[in-house]
Homo-oligomer: A and B are copies of this chain.
């Protein structure tokens, strides 16, 4: 695939570096399901021998682990951005929700894979634990915003978190890169629905 994989990632095999194999594997997992995608199927899709894949990854499980880590690290990274610790808790939540939409659009395949994980293996259970930890940080932010009076406080914070990410995560079901909405526009739309509300207050109607 790309010519500029870094030196450690590509270990001598021409054609695919680790990242390239990962991308093809994630697409196959999303299309056929993880269980139904054997290393043999992957090798065929890549036009490589199985041993060429094993040169990069010890097992199919390791490929899944790397793909899920990529999605989770990007999501967790949103909390490290400056906007996630600036302003009111509502401002910080606004930033985190927008950031999550950007990650989803930028890493649609690996986030799609993450959202389908059901906890059948150790790798999947570790990924679910990290996802729950992320959700918990969002829930804490909702709590802080309710406490400071910037978000309405008559809804259970866990229900709020679930509805917000239910909406955001559903984007993987229909979003296709290159469509009419880019990530920034989509993030604006999510904020408009979730934080500001669609309804025009009667007083503001013309």
Chain A residues near B (Cβ < 8 Å) = 90, 149-152, 154-156, 159-160, 162-171, 173-174, 180-181, 186, 189-190, 192-200, 205-206
Contacts and interface: CB of A to CB of B under 8 A. Distances in A.
User: What is the total number of copies of this protein in its complex?
Assistant: 2
Contacts of A200: 149-152
B206 A149 contact: yes
B156 A198 contact: no
A162 B186 CA distance: 12
Contact of A159 (B150, B164, B189): B189
Closest 8 CB pairs of A and B: A197-B197, A166-B170, A167-B167, A195-B199, A196-B197, A151-B198, A166-B167, A155-B189
A193 B194 contact: yes
Contacts of A166: 166-171, 173
A199 to B, nearest CB: 4
A196 to B, nearest CB: 4
Contacts of A171: 162-163, 166
Nearest to A206: B149
Contacts of A196: 197, 199
Contacts of A150: 199-200, 205
Contacts of A164: 167, 193
Contact of A193 (B160, B180, B181, B186): B160
A186 B196 CA distance: 19
Contacts of A195: 197-199
Nearest to A162: B174
A186 B206 contact: no
A117 to B, nearest CB: 12
